[in-house]
């Protein structure tokens, strides 16, 4: 059962998928459907405002969603079992099917990029194209140190905390972030820190990797690894880009994405 309402040309609502109610927002009326996959603890609202607002509405139908336990897809509370990326990938694909999209493209940021990689590998006939940025397919010891350095959200700047605290409240946000750091760290115990390395050769859709060269969270060896192991993929470097390059340089990012999706 889905609940649906509209604000300006934006449809929003909940769709029951795999036993949970997933929140989504949809804009545009183009033939090419595109799913936006948010980062850790992320939601449509916090992660993709400029994309929902400004991606070409004549050519694309853009769907943003809050993965289970994030944003407005609560309850349930978010947990991080060893297969949480696989679970998100299945939820994402099943949500799009439930909304009536037979084939669609993926735009995945950070954790959402990992989810997109898995979804594309597992569903080659459903995924048209994929764009990922700020994403990794394994967790190195260096990555672990980066996560550990940001574990304590009280040390974040107020500006960095604010969007998340508005969604979750300060206490729940701090607790969830701690759980996420613990959740991502579990992959470092696997051989080579593997999250989804073995799936990369199974990806057959055209894949565009974007990387901000000043990304403090994702060292450049990650996009290079994806480029090497995803057949026919290409990499675009943004010299000034950090982790949130799609927000800070939204116009440039949106144009890159539109041009790629329309090729």
Active site residues: 110, 215, 243
In Å, how far from its chain's centre is CA 57?
Answer: 21
What DSSP state is assigned to residue 153?
G
The residue to which tokens 């927002």 are assigned: 25
Q: How far apart are CA 53 and CA 47, in angstroms?
A: 12
Q: How far apart are CA 229 and CA 200, in angstroms?
A: 6
Sign of the CA dihedral 47, 52, 54, 58? positive
In Å, how far from its chain's centre is CA 167?
Answer: 17
Strand stretches in 179-263, DSSP E: 207-212, 234-238
């Amino acid at each position: 059962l889905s609940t649906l309402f509209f604000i300006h040309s934006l449809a929003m609502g909940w769709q029951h998928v795999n036993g949970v109610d997933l929140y989504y927002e949809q804009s545009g009326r183009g033939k090419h459907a595109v799913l936006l996959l948010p980062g850790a603890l992320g939601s449509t609202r916090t992660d993709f405002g400029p994309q929902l607002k400004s991606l070409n509405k004549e050519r694309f139908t853009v769907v943003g969603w809050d993965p289970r336990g994030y944003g407005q897809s609560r309850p349930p509370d978010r947990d991080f079992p060893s297969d949480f990326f696989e679970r998100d990938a299945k939820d994402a694909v099943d949500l799009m099917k439930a909304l009536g999209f037979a084939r669609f493209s993926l735009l995945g940021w950070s954790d959402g990029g990992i989810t997109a990689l898995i979804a594309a590998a597992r569903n080659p006939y459903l995924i048209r194209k994929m764009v990922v940025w700020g994403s990794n397919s394994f967790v190195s010891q260096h990555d672990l140190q980066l996560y550990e350095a940001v574990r304590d959200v009280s040390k974040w700047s107020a500006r960095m905390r604010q969007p998340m605290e508005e969604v979750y409240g300060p206490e729940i946000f701090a607790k969830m972030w701690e759980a996420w750091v613990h959740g991502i760290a579990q992959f470092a115990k696997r051989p080579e820190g593997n999250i989804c390395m073995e799936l990369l050769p199974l990806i057959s859709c055209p894949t565009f990797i974007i990387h901000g060269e000043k990304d403090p969270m994702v060292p450049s060896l990650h996009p290079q690894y994806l480029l090497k192991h995803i057949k026919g993929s290409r990499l675009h470097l943004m010299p000034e880009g950090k982790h949130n390059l799609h927000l800070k340089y939204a116009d440039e990012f949106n144009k890159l994405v539109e041009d790629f999706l329309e090729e």
